[in-house]
Structure 1
Amino acid sequence: MRTLIPTGDPRQPVAFADEPEPVPAPDEALVEVEAFAVNRGETFLLERPVPGWRPGKDVAGVVVRAAADGSGPAVGTRVVGHPPAGGWAERVAVPTRSLAVLPGAVDAVRAAALPLAGLTALRLLRAAGAVAGRRLLVTGASGGVGHYLVELAAGAEITAVTATPRRGARLLELGAAEVVHDVADARGPFDLVLESVGGAVLPVALARLAAGGTLIWFGQASRTPVALDFFDFFAGPDNATIRHFHYEGAPYADDLATLVRLVAGGRLHPEVGRVAGWGSTADALVDLRERRVRGRAVLTVGSDR
């Protein structure tokens, strides 16, 4: 079986190799991969890959072997999946609790763009509670998660922070009320801040909270540690709250099915900035790491270009 494995070389992060086909556990289905998405977090992990690790958490394809325990979809079913690893391959074993069936209206490319970013956005907003009528600030909004947040947070008054006017234009189309290119230009106060950049951005965003507001910290895309002064924090918005969030936890199947249903119904639009054959995966990873891709990058298996 052909698969992509880490090289440790930042200029060419992955290369093709031949490996045995995975042997599914009783609660796993074997999926023939049609398309997979790459994530910026994976580009960081590829800088110093753990021996034996095989990247790939966002896949779409067809079940070629159903789970032995009888759970999950039957052979021949089109699915989207979120395996723990190994998805950049011709076939991958996926727990049935991490699979959702795809209707004919949702193609493999858009489906592959859903799992990690879509699950993060959906669960983040669920953790935040009702957002309708609230003022919401989203940092790092031009990435895959940011696009989904803007669409899913219907009813909120959203200010999106993104680097360029070109990226901001799409966020306005998706429902943002305002786009700024520096968090310092965001006109608060905000009831809720969804923060994924870290570094110098978080303290500035925190200062724009309304009294009693909440900042949920779910990423550090800048890769720069946050320096938060204790006295500045307590001199800021009264009763402000900082919360940490990570999307992992409960089984993914139901939430994946929700995302698929929203796409099929035209209520959610995966922002796919690049589609290419999986022979171009290394280039896509470098461009994603260097922020040359807007939204998601999806690679199609079976086509090297």
Structure 2
Amino acid sequence: MKRLIPTGDPARPVEFTEDTTPVPAPDEALIRVEAFAPNRGETFLLERPKPGLIPGKDIAGLVVQAAADGSGPQAGTRVVGHPPKGGWAEYAAVPTHSLAELPDAVSSVVAAALPLAGITALRLLRTAGGVAGRRVLLTGASGGVGHYLTELAAGAGAEVTVVTATEPRAERLLALGAAAAVHDVAKAEGPFDVVLESTGGAGLPAALSHLTPGGTLIWFGQASRTPATLDFFDFFSGPEGATIRHFHYAGAPYGRDLATLVRLVRDGRLHPEIDRTEDWAKAAETLVDLRERRIRGKAVLTTGVRS
């Protein structure tokens, strides 16, 4: 079978190779991959790939071999999955606890855009607690996670202000339910009960200063790739009783969250922002554009297989 592997060349970060079809563990199903979605964080790993790196976490396709232990979907079932690795290939072995079935109304392209970004958004909102009636500030809102967070938080009753670089992106986020959009976090009109911060650098202390007393900043990324510096005295004199929380989405099982995302898409309550859909022959170019922020929301690559 064909698989994409790292090259170590930032200008063309992946290439095709021939590989053997994975042999699933007893609790894994073998999936014929129809579509997959790279994430920007994965593009950073490709710049200096570690030996043995086999990328690919967000896939959709068809179960061709059910798990030997009897768990999960049967052969012939359309699914979305979040494997720990190896999804940029014609076939992938995925733990059944990280799969969800797809209805006919949800295509493989749309489904492939859901896993990492969608699960992150769901779990961030759970970490934030109830957001109905609360003011939420979201930085780095133009990416895949940001679009999901905006629509989910607004749908849950939050008043969401988003920080995004351009006017077209702001317009799209407003259409998804954001109450306000700014291009500089310093111009956000707070205070906010919750700040969801994903840029790092100078953006983090600026966002922190907009918290209401007793508010919470949840730090879930560093898209600027610039370390943040916090001054204790600035923080001490800022919002009284404020909390900074670290967040990372990981922690299987993922199947229940995937099923929730699929249901929301099916019911028209969640709209994945897919800026680009390409054949996986254009994977290298797409990954570079994703890394350099020339893609809004998600990019999805298709293998040419259709169920």
TM-score by length of 1: 0.99
How many residues are treated as equivalent by the alignment?
303
2:266 corresponding residue in structure 1: 264
Q: What is the deviation of 1:52?
A: 1.2
1:178-193 matches, within 5 Å, as 178-193=180-195
Is the contact between residue 161 and residue 180 of structure 2 (CA under 8 Å) also seen in structure 1?
yes
Query: What does residue range 76-115 of structure 1 map to in structure 2 within 5 Å?
Result: 76-115=76-115
Residue 162, structure 1, aligned to residue 164, structure 2: yes
Letter in 2 for 1:223: R
Who is 1:54 aligned against?
54
Counterpart Cα distance in 1 of 2:51 and 2:25: 22
The residue type equivalent to 1:82 in the other structure is H
Letter in 2 for 1:21: T
Provide, for residues 282-304 of structure 1, a one-character-per-residue CA deviation record: whole Å limited to 9, x for no partner: 1110001111000000000028x
> What corresponds to 1:32 in structure 2?
32
Task: State the Cα distance separating 1:241 from its structure 2 match.
Answer: 0.3
Q: Distance in 1 between matches of 2:223 and 2:194?
A: 19
C-alpha distance in 1 between matches for 2:245 and 2:42: 24
Q: CA deviation at 1:249?
A: 1.3
Give the conservation status (yes or no) of the 8 Å contact 2:43–2:291: yes
Superposition pairs for residues 244-263 of structure 1, below 5 Å?
Answer: 244-263=246-265
CA contact (8 A) 2:199 2:224 kept: yes
5+ long unaligned stretches in structure 2: none
- Residue identity matched to 1:99: L
Summarize the alignment of residues 136-285 of structure 1 with structure 2, pairs less than 5 Å apart: 136-153=136-153, 154=155, 155-285=157-287
CA offsets 1:92-128 (integer angstroms, 9 cap, x no match): 0000000000000000000000000000000000111
Q: Deviations over 1:121-178 (max 9, x none)?
A: 0000011100010010000001000000011112111100000001111000000000
Correspondence for 1:117: 117
TM-score by length of 2: 0.98
Give percent identity, aligned residues only: 74
Contact kept in structure 1, 2:140 and 2:164, CA below 8 Å:
yes
Secondary structure, counterpart of 1:38 in structure 2: coil
- Over the aligned positions, Cα root-mean-square deviation in angstroms equals 0.7
